[in-house]
Chain A
Amino acid sequence: MTSRVTADVLARLAGLDLTADDLTRLDGDLDRLLVAIDALPPADPDPPEAPIARSTPAAPPPPIAVALAPCHVPRVIGEP
């Protein structure tokens, strides 16, 4: 597992004044959570960044269409 500082140090970094009981519980939770994250496959090298294409502003969109069918009545649970 990735080495890590204890929950009390992380709590100070994060601006949280927690009790000893809270910190003990969080240390256990962090260990469990990090097992799954540490099992992620290794990262490939980042691909080279593609140049950012400059685009011209698109035309303003048409008004938002109404999706209701002409005779649609919303279903409400509990009503006939």
Chain B
Amino acid sequence: MNPRVDRPAPTTRAVVERHLARITADDHGAWITLDADAALARADALDARRAAGEALGPLAGLTVALKDNIMTRALPTTCGSRLLADPLAAPLAAPLAYDATVVTRLLAADAIVLGKTNLDAFGMGSSTEHGPAPARNPHDPTRTAGGSSGGSAAAVAAGHCHAALGSDTGGSVRQPAAFCGLVGLAPTYGRVSRFGLVAHASSLDRIGPLAADVRTCAAFYAAIAGPDPRDATTADRPVDRPLFPAAARLDGLRVGCPPLPFDPSPAVVAAHAAALDRLTALGATLTAIALPSLPHALAAYRALAAAEAASNLARFDTVRYGRRVEAPTYPATVAAGRAAGFGPEVRRRILLGTHLLTAGHAALDRARALRRRLTAEHHAALDTVDLIVTPTAPTVAFPLGARRDDPLALARSDAYTVAPSLAGLPALSLPAPAGTLPVGLQLIARPFDEATLLCTAAALEDHP
């Protein structure tokens, strides 16, 4: 008897109560807003429907957390920023608020939303230390949970919920998944609707799921993916069904391995090598590939993301919503409110972006050119291999506070994740064989080939 499969099914209420009790015991800094009463009411409604013999959705009884930059009608959306969290200011709540498309789809699939999770303000950061409070890594509470979706990752890793949604601009789903020992998926740009996601860098932003295992991650991905008439950037393509054969091997799979710049730590190098050995043992063929522009990806990402962020955040003028600081004139009111509301990391990116957008565009032209070259290099490599494999981050989770005020050191943890972000390619992080602290393995696939990512990850997960 398999106790996980054959034990009596608990009620949905019992599952929700257990998860809420864990959050109460130690929230790991993961949560900004909890919606316990609504979650319990929804659990009761699901139990009643199940007892009545009604057909339930594919996520029935599964709990989920939402990064707090995803709009919800019933709960405020703070983006982890003082500018939107001030109780004296009008938050992004009814009547301005609405459910993001991903939220509508999760609810339609009968998932239970427990609440909203912590993040670096507006998704800008890699350690979830630039928000209301640090999120702590459940594997070691003195270390970061990663970022900017660190609250979502900490919540899943602490057993608070079955899955969480994060947003990934340069690695903000994959890097926290790696640091917390989870599976995290950044789908192809255009695969998942961003209607209702507060924009950070619009040519890069993606929404993706995090979960403790590949199949749960796949289930949440399948529920949220697909075209959306409310988001013109979604692709009008059907979603492939990921298949998970019981004893999957990877015979015939061609895996590309680029040289690894950015000086990965010994623990990461060892875990990466062990993961490649597992791929080979399962039948995959490893091939050396070249990505000559990879060492420049981080600089190009930083320039492009900052320019887009400066533009996107110009809308937060504190007049219609957000923390307002009264001043004699309209420009002074805007400037005072924005200065009081935006934290150091957001200010840094706004000023960098403002410089790049007003300095003749030469640097931005170089960044755009690098992005084109990097994308072409990935596509050329993926003409000869089915997947590209890299570590997710150059190090394991670093201590809280170690990089908080050093933007260059902080960004280094995104060194491997920004390349597929710039190329718009689907990428997944899954735990690699490691020591005491988790290490992530990043798989990168062709556009809209999430199925190969998930099937390969499932095979690796099934054969530890």
Contacts and interface: CB of A to CB of B under 8 A. Distances in A.
A26 B368 CA distance: 25
A61 B4 contact: no
A14 B310 contact: yes
B351 A66 contact: no
Given A40-B299, A40-B370, A30 B222 contact: no
B237 A4 contact: no
A66 B5 contact: no
A10 B215 contact: no
A72 interface: yes
Number of contact residues on B: which range applies?
35 or more
A32 B407 contact: yes
A45 B27 CA distance: 52
Contacts of A11: 351
A37 B303 contact: yes
Interface stretch (B120-128, B266-274, B328-336): B328-336
Contact of A30 (B242, B314, B332, B352): B352
A74 B303 contact: no
A20 interface: no
Given A64-B222, A76-B159, A58 B351 contact: no
A43 B365 contact: yes
A2 B368 CA distance: 17
A52 interface: no
B355 A4 contact: yes
Interface in B149-164: 156-159, 162-163
A50 B245 CA distance: 42
B350 interface: yes
Contacts of B332: 17
Contact of A67 (B221, B338, B363): B221
Contacts of B162: 74, 76
A64 B225 contact: yes
Interface in A18-39: 18, 22, 25-26, 29-30, 32-34, 36-39
Interface in B90-104: none
A36 B226 CA distance: 37
Given A58-B237, A77-B159, A22 B347 contact: yes
Interface of A: 2-5, 7, 10-18, 22, 25-26, 29-30, 32-34, 36-44, 57-58, 61-62, 64-69, 71-80
The 7 closest A-B CB pairs, nearest first, are: A43-B369, A65-B241, A17-B335, A78-B159, A61-B238, A67-B218, A40-B366
Given A10-B358, A33-B302, 16 more contacts: A14-B350, A15-B314, A22-B347, A37-B367, A40-B296, A40-B366, A41-B296, A58-B236, A64-B223, A67-B218, A67-B222, A71-B5, A74-B211, A75-B211, A76-B162, A78-B22
